Amino acid sequence: MTEIDELASQEARLTLPQFTYEDAWTLGGLLVELARERKAPVAIDIRRGAQQLFHCALPGSSADNDAWIDRKRRVVERYGVSSFLVGARFRAKGTTFEASSRLDLDRYAAHGGSFPIAVEGAGVIGSVTVSGLPQAEDHALVVEGLERLLSSYAAGEDD
């Protein structure tokens, strides 16, 4: 399986049955817990459309992480897929997002860490973003948080 196939498979697998304000809080809490366990100096952002539902900055993060969050989130909003997948697709074409996207790089970054929040029957309704680690680790942290949220639905913990 190629990197692109793996990333696209994650997105298909992590489509949620719902995403409420409470779910945003739960997901944010899961990500904070995972980051604290790893002593990860990250900032975390969760949005539904244009509304920010959750934000947390952990020790070691900075305002620079918030700027990265905005840049990565805009990629998800524009392309409808994870920022890591967008970057991987450009690399697979033998180029880079920076060289070929024709977008303002002060506003867009196709680096790992921002993931679409997709809901069954509704499509992409928001994003969850982590910044502060190397891009593959930012992406993996978000994926792990979404996996745990999805598991909680399966276990009936969303009641």
Q: Domain map of the chain by residue range?
A: 3-152
Residue written as token pair 């700027």:
67
Nearest Cα residue to 68 out of 59, 79, 57: 57
- The model's pTM is 0.95
> What distance in Å separates the CA atoms of residue 126 and residue 112, rounded to the nearest whole number?
16
**Segments in the chain forming alpha helices (H):** 3-13, 21-37, 63-79, 83-92, 97-100, 135-154
Gap between the terminal Cα atoms of the chain: 36
Summarised one tens digit per residue, pLDDT across range 35-93 is: 999 999 999 999 999 999 999 999 999 999 999 999 999 999 999 999 999 999 999 99
Encoded tokens for 55: 């934000």
Residue 159 has pLDDT above 80, yes or no: no
What fold, for 3-152? Answer: Beta-Lactamase (3.30.450)
- Strand ordering across the sheet containing 123-131: 51-57, 43-48, 123-131, 114-119
Residue-wise pLDDT tens digits, 111-129: 999 999 999 999 999 999 9
